[in-house]
A and B are shown apart, each in its own frame.
Chain A
């Protein structure tokens, strides 16, 4: 295992360990997902057709809202006990820290997404099982896009005034392409069409992910200086 990968892995491992012991974020996030479900239900009313028509949008609305909370936290925990200085003093390429934080954010998002899908399946009686494979592909690409920008901007805003306001204001317009592509691809998948029908959207997502990752890796060391 190369030193670079090991460094990124250390960041993931330390965050997972801290989360396992403190249980600060994940419990609240899961509960937040449940609350979102109620909000969606109240907004749409009892009619099932409306829920089904809005389903792809609702799913991604749930993911991005949870993501806004989760990504914002990833670097906030580093502000306590001078942890940020520790990260700055880490020798070697700083982009490993970015990739580690990104991996952590993707992990959190996967948990939130699985929880939300299960909640939707149970409360709205929607059977996702025939679409799981296609859905997994769209979710993987979409989540990577959201998380790569979210991790970078989370780090940028972590030390700023009014960061809880600034972070969504910066992140939401930047991830418009990811949301458009993900919602459209999810719509195709949930309509039971083959994944090839959404190929153009998946390619766009892959290209967007690549661009965001490259920008994140190249610029992260400047962000970390604090």
Chain B
């Protein structure tokens, strides 16, 4: 019942997000309508980071307690995490073509996001290779923990390696220089994406639980 309510709340938030992104938020002065991709791009990447943090939590939780629920959390977070990372890369690519003039460039944040994508695709591949639940959960947890511990290292190594992307405006240390309606539209979309993620997470955990009971 709770999941259903969450689902409808997500739908409402997503509609509100669409309205805010296309109706309410003003047209950006320099980039024009293309800039509206941001309302997809930024919430997607923030949600992806949240998802990978939960993979870490689930992995540590499983190794400490050996309860299958923690492993289901890790799995249920990893799949949408990869999806949202994919959306980030794809939307960034579509945004990059008109603004930077290229689909892809080996800029720092593009590269580190792509590396992140590959790490967690590997994580999901690994999960597919083991049938026995405890063995799969342990192996995945080790990879999930190392993957999360690696995120800051990947971030700094790639950042020092090169940079073209604009500096992060939202999570940076200084107050955000974004206009208020744009920031508000971004916030609404961020909330909508987080709700969507929570819904997917809950549903995926439910399915994983059903799989576990029927397999065992």
Contacts and interface: CB of A to CB of B under 8 A. Distances in A.
B125 A222 contact: no
A211 B149 contact: yes
Contacts of A207: 153
Interface string A166-194: 10011011101100110010000000000
Contacts, number: 89
Contacts of A184: 160-161
Interface residues of A, number: 34
A162 B161 CA distance: 33
B184 to A, nearest CB: 36
B83 interface: no
A211 B138 contact: no
A174 B142 contact: no
Interface string B170-210: 00000000000000000000000000000000000000000
A177 B141 contact: no
Interface stretch (A34-42, A81-89, A149-157): A149-157
Contact of B146 (A160, A204, A215, A226): A215
B122 A173 contact: yes
A156 B145 CA distance: 13
Interface string B31-72: 000000000000000000000000000000001000000000
B157 A177 contact: yes
A225 B138 contact: yes
Interface string B11-48: 00000000000000000000000000000000000000
Contacts of A16: none
A169 B122 contact: yes
B57 to A, nearest CB: 15
A25 B118 CA distance: 29
Given A153-B143, A166-B126, A176 B138 contact: no
Contacts of B118: 172-173
A225 B134 CA distance: 10
Contacts of B153: 177, 204, 207-208, 211
B63 A222 contact: yes
B106 to A, nearest CB: 11
B21 to A, nearest CB: 32
Contacts of B135: 159, 225-226
B149 A215 contact: yes
Most chain A Cβ neighbours within 10 Å, of B119, B135, B139, B147 = B139
B77 interface: no
18 contacts: A156-B126, A160-B126, A160-B130, A166-B125, A169-B125, A170-B126, A173-B119, A177-B153, A177-B157, A184-B161, A200-B160, A204-B156, A211-B149, A219-B146, A222-B141, A223-B138, A223-B142, A226-B135
